[in-house]
């Protein structure tokens, strides 16, 4: 029985680097605007009529804009583990990109451990698996070294 | 040229879980609106339907579906969709036809038969659809966004879960005598606080249910109205604005905001711009409003709207609530109908129902929940991906 292969749950959204994963956005070469998920066909800045994009791995760290929890199992197309375990969700602002991105909070860390403004970093976690693959997504995790930065 | 159109008639099918087709609900609401207006179905020149996406093909072409059910009459037809703002889209189509002189009298109908529980995206693997993507890859439901906004109020403004619960307590009193409301029962603070946590900090009773229901309006030119009635309620403005780039607040169903790295933020945010557009068009301001019907998908969202429609500065909504300003009898009652908290959401009917309530209030017919001396009111609501929706009615 061969080992299962680690793959992203959806292609093209993030790198699979287990230590320093990055979300993969794009940046408009003309106006400098970032997009996540990647935008490659039109620039959404109304003052920009260019369509020249470069791939932009986004900052791995940011600060909590807000947070909440999912106490009930979300419906399909989410694939929930059984039994369902509630999880926290954070909206994290990336300073350089000027963009806020949602993600589950890693490792069962609950809302009691979160606060607006708290520094977070990007990690990869298993989402679900089948006979051949383990499917991954991104999570946010409080940065190691304290929460009062 | 006056931009006023008259609200000649209003009608609703009570909200609930009735287990019937949305078409029947819509027909009942339409018949009530026609009767209220004193207008015959055969005299309607345009049917503007609000679409529902959870009831098969008839829902996608709701205008024609309702016209067929009422009996083909050769009227013009339109069917529009804007998620939660669907009703405002249908109202806007009817109003534009009337103001352009393309018709004198129009019937606007929205109806839904809603599934139980969380709204989920339509089927298939569609990674390019943000609505599919957020469910699949992060398990993010609609209440996730309500929870994020609520928690932000707590961390930034010092709001409490009790404040949010108090919105439910207020609205449950408002809706107590509304014959079209689904939940007509007083709710105590402890009831909300002891209901299960769904999306921290929000409890089950902080979040609106999904319901069956229907609402309809007969709209006409002012000339047509004068031949039928005196002093009709008027629609003075309909705002259907989109955001201005970049929209830097996280919005359902997106996983990320627009970037502000390349372009500066607009003067006012999207949610603030929705009612602002209506005030500008009506030549009125928040201080002129006697009441407001706002889209309380969650209790905390009602508080956000107080600020976003200009009833108070940012951070003061909890004070406005605590002081009783937004209760019936207060300075500017909000959701005298009982709001979504008492109705549950029937998506394409909801923005139309808001206008029904303003009409009853401005006519002095809102029995058991009347805002005394009401002269003007505003509705506000927002559809996914940036469908603004705000209507101002005056008398």
Which one, of B60, B190, B186, lies nearest residue B112 by Cα? B60
Which one, of B391, B381, B395, B394, lies nearest residue B82 by Cα? B381
Q: Hey, which bits of chain B come out as E strands?
A: 5-16, 46-50, 76-80, 105-112, 197-199, 202-203, 212-220, 233-239, 291-294, 376-383, 387-394
Q: Give the residue, A1 or B273, on which the prediction is more confident.
A: B273
Tokens of residue A114, six digits:
């979160």
Mutate to test the interface with B, among A70, A123, A140 (most CBs of B within 10 A): A70
- Provide the whole-model pTM: 0.95
Residues of A in contact with B146 (CB under 8 A): 68
Report the SS3 class of residue B186: coil
Each residue's pLDDT tens digit, A39-79: 999 999 999 998 899 999 999 999 999 999 999 999 999 99
The answer, yes or no, to whether residue A149 has pLDDT greater than 70, is no
A73, closest residue in chain B (CA to CA):
B139
* Residue contacts between A and B (CB atoms, under 8 Å): 154
pLDDT band at B124 (very low <50, low <70, confident <90, very high): confident
Tokens of residue B171, six digits:
């609205």
Average pLDDT for residues B322-326, to the nearest whole number? 98
Each residue's pLDDT tens digit, B220-261: 999 999 999 999 999 999 999 999 999 999 999 999 999 999
Any CB–CB contact under 8 A between B127 and chain A? yes
The answer, yes or no, to whether residue B1 has pLDDT greater than 60, is no
Any CB–CB contact under 8 A between B319 and chain A? no
Average pLDDT for residues A4-22, to the nearest whole number? 96
Residues of B in contact with A102 (CB under 8 A): 134, 138, 140, 144, 250, 255-256
Distance in Å, alpha carbon of B115 to nearest chain A alpha carbon: 12
Angle of helix B142-157 relative to helix B299-308, nearest 10 degrees, comes to 60
Instruction: Test B259 with A79 for CB contact under 8 angstroms.
Output: no
The answer, yes or no, to whether residue B372 has pLDDT greater than 90, is yes
Average pLDDT for residues B61-72, to the nearest whole number? 98
Angle of helix B270-282 relative to helix B299-308, nearest 10 degrees, comes to 50
Tokens of residue B117, six digits:
């529980």
pLDDT for A146 equals 47
Q: How far apart are CA B87 and CA B106, in angstroms?
A: 14
Distance in Å, alpha carbon of B265 to nearest chain A alpha carbon: 10
Any CB–CB contact under 8 A between A61 and chain B? no
Max CA distance (Å), chain A: 56
Domain B5-117+211-228 has CATH 3.30.43.10: no
Q: Can you spell out the DSSP letters for B194-233? A: HSPEEETTEEGGGB--B-EEEEEEEEE-HHHHHHH-SS-E
Restricting to B residues 130-149, those with a Cβ less than 8 Å away from any Cβ of A are 130, 132-141, 143-144, 146-149
Phi, psi at A26, each rounded to 5°: -130, 160
Of residues A78, A102, A116, nearest to B136 (C-beta): A78
Instruction: Test A71 with B199 for CB contact under 8 angstroms.
Output: yes
Average pLDDT for residues B176-194, to the nearest whole number? 97
A30, closest residue in chain B (CA to CA):
B262
Average pLDDT for residues B34-62, to the nearest whole number? 97
pLDDT for A145 equals 58
Any CB–CB contact under 8 A between A100 and chain B? yes
Distance in Å, alpha carbon of B28 to nearest chain A alpha carbon: 33
Half-sphere exposure of B31 (CA within 13 A, CB side): 10
Average pLDDT for residues B273-282, to the nearest whole number? 98
Tell me what percent of the residues of chain B surpass a pLDDT of 70: 99
Give the helix/strand (H/E) hosting B165: helix B161-174
Instruction: Test B138 with A102 for CB contact under 8 angstroms.
Output: yes
The answer to whether B382 and B347 have CB atoms below 8 angstroms apart is no
Residues of A in contact with B199 (CB under 8 A): 68-71
Q: How far apart are CA B81 and CA B88, in angstroms?
A: 9
Q: Are strands B46-50 and B105-112 parallel, antiparallel or unpaired?
A: parallel
The chain-wide mean pLDDT, for chain B, equals 96
Residue B44 has a CB neighbour count (10 Å cut-off) of 23
The answer, yes or no, to whether residue B2 has pLDDT greater than 90, is no
Q: How far is CA A97 from the centre of its chain?
A: 14
Residues of B in contact with A97 (CB under 8 A): 259, 261
The CA-CA-CA angle for residues B277, B385, B389, to 5°, reads: 30
The answer, yes or no, to whether residue B315 has pLDDT greater than 80, is yes
Q: Are strands B376-383 and B291-294 parallel, antiparallel or unpaired?
A: parallel
pLDDT band at A147 (very low <50, low <70, confident <90, very high): very low
The CA-CA-CA angle for residues A83, A87, A91, to 5°, reads: 155
ipTM (interface pTM): 0.95
Tokens of residue B45, six digits:
């020149």
Q: How far apart are CA A32 and CA B264, in angstroms?
A: 12
Instruction: Test B139 with A111 for CB contact under 8 angstroms.
Output: no
pLDDT for A1 equals 55
Residues of A in contact with B260 (CB under 8 A): 98-99
Any CB–CB contact under 8 A between B189 and chain A? no
The answer to whether B351 and B391 have CB atoms below 8 angstroms apart is yes
Mutate to test the interface with B, among A25, A50, A77 (most CBs of B within 10 A): A77
Any CB–CB contact under 8 A between A50 and chain B? no
């Amino acid at each position: 029985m061969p080992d299962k292969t680690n793959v992203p749950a959806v292609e093209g959204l993030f790198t699979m680097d287990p230590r320093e994963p990055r979300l993969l956005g794009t940046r408009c070469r003309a106006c400098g605007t970032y997009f996540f998920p990647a935008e490659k066909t039109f620039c959404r800045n109304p003052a920009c009529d260019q369509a020249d994009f470069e791939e932009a791995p986004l900052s791995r760290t940011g600060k909590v804009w807000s947070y909440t929890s999912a106490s009930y199992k979300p419906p399909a197309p989410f694939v929930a583990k059984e039994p369902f375990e509630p999880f926290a969700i954070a909206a994290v602002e990336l300073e350089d990109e000027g963009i806020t991105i949602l993600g589950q909070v890693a490792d069962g860390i609950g809302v009691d451990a979160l606060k607006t403004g708290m520094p977070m970093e990007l990690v990869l976690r298993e989402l679900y698996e089948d006979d051949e693959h383990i499917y991954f997504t991104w999570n946010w995790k409080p940065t190691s070294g304290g929460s009062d930065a | 040229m006056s931009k006023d159109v008259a609200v000649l008639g209003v009608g609703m099918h009570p909200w609930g879980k009735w287990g019937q087709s949305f078409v029947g609900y819509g027909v009942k609401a339409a018949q009530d609106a026609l009767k209220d207006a004193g207008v015959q179905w055969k005299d309607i020149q345009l049917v503007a339907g609000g679409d529902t996406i959870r009831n098969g093909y008839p829902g996608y072409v709701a205008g024609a579906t309702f016209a067929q059910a009422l009996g083909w009459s050769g009227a013009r037809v339109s069917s529009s969709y804007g998620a939660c703002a669907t009703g405002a889209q249908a109202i806007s189509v009817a109003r534009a036809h009337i103001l352009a002189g393309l018709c004198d009298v129009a019937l606007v109908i929205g109806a839904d038969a809603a599934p139980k529980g969380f709204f989920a995206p339509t089927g298939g693997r569609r990674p390019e659809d943000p609505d599919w993507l957020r469910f699949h890859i992060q398990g993010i439901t609609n209440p996730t966004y309500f929870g994020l906004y609520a928690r932000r109020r707590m961390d930034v403004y010092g709001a409490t879960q009790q404040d949010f619960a108090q919105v439910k307590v207020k609205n449950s009193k408002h809706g107590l005598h509304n014959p079209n409301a689904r939940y007509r029962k007083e709710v105590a603070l402890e009831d909300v606080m002891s209901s299960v946590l769904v999306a921290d900090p929000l409890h089950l009773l902080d979040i609106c249910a999904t319901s069956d229901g229907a609402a309809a309006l007969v709209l006409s030119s002012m000339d047509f109205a004068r031949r039928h009635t005196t002093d009709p309620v008027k629609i003075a403005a309909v705002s259907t604005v989109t955001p201005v780039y970049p929209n830097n607040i996280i919005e359902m169903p997106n996983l990320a905001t627009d970037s502000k790295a390349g372009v500066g933020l607009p003067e006012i945010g999207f949610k603030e711009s929705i009612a602002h557009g209506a005030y500008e068009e009506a030549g009125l301001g928040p201080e002129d409003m006697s009441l407001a019907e706002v889209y309380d998908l969650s209790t905390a969202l009602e508080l956000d709207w107080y600020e976003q429609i200009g009833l108070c500065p940012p951070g003061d909504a909890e004070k406005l609530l605590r002081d009783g300003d937004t209760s019936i009898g207060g300075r500017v009652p909000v959701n005298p109908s009982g709001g979504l908290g008492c109705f549950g959401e029937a998506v394409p009917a909801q923005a139309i129902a808001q206008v029904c309530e303003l009409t009853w209030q401005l006519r002095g017919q809102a029995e058991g929940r009347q805002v005394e001396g009401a002269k003007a009111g505003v509705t506000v609501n927002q559809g996914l991906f940036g469908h603004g929706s705000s209507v101002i009615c005056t008398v």
